[in-house]
Amino acid sequence: MFNPDVDIPSLEGKVILITGGNTGLGKETVLQLAKHNPKEIFLAARTPSKAHAAIEEIKSAVPSGNVSFIQLDLTSLQSVKEAAEDFHKKSDRLDLLINNAGIMAVPWSKTKEGYEIQFGTNHVGHALLTKLLLPTLLKTAEQPGADVRVINLSSEGHNMAPGIIYDQDKLETYNTWRRYGQSKLANIYHARELQRRYPSITATSIHPGVIITDLYASQQKTNIVMKMFLPIMKMATLDVPGGAKNTLWAATTPDKAKVRESHYWKPVGSKSGGSFWYAQKTEPAKELWEWTEEELKKNGY
Q: What is the CATH number of the domain that holds 102?
A: 3.40.50.720
Contact 91, 42 (CB under 8 A): yes
What is the β-pairing status of strands 270-272 and 264-266? antiparallel
* Residue pLDDT, tens place only, 59-88: 999 999 999 999 999 999 999 999 999 999
Strand ranges inside 149-286, DSSP E: 149-153, 202-206, 264-266, 270-272
Taking each helix axis as running N to C, give the angle between helix 24-34 and helix 245-252, from 0 to 180 degrees, rounded to the nearest 10.
50
Residue 217 domain-assigned (yes or no): no
Residue 239 domain-assigned (yes or no): no
Q: Count up the domains in the chain and report the number.
A: 1
Active site annotation includes 155: no
The whole-chain average pLDDT of the chain stands at: 91
Q: Is the pLDDT of residue 278 over 70?
A: no
* Residue pLDDT, tens place only, 91-117: 999 999 999 999 999 999 999 999 999
Contact 148, 140 (CB under 8 A): yes
pTM beyond cutoff 0.75: yes
DSSP H or E run through 19: strand 15-19
Out of 154, 155, 183, 205, which one is annotated catalytic? Answer: 154
Residue 215 domain-assigned (yes or no): no
Taking each helix axis as running N to C, give the angle between helix 176-197 and helix 126-141, from 0 to 180 degrees, rounded to the nearest 10.
20
Active site annotation includes 59: no
**Mean pLDDT of all residues in 234-253:** 81
Q: How far apart are CA 178 and CA 180, in angstroms?
A: 5
Q: How far apart are CA 20 and CA 240, in angstroms?
A: 14
**For residue 239, what pLDDT is reported?**
78
Domain span holding position 25: 4-209+244-298
Residue 221 domain-assigned (yes or no): no
Out of 180, 189, 216, 264, which one is annotated catalytic? Answer: 180
Active site annotation includes 184: yes
Q: Is the pLDDT of residue 272 over 80?
A: no
Please give the residue that has the higher pLDDT: either 33 or 160: 33
Residue 12 domain-assigned (yes or no): yes
**For residue 63, what pLDDT is reported?**
97
What is the β-pairing status of strands 149-153 and 202-206? parallel
Out of 183, 184, 205, 245, which one is annotated catalytic? Answer: 184
Residue 138 domain-assigned (yes or no): yes
For 43, phi then psi, to 5°, come to: -100, 110
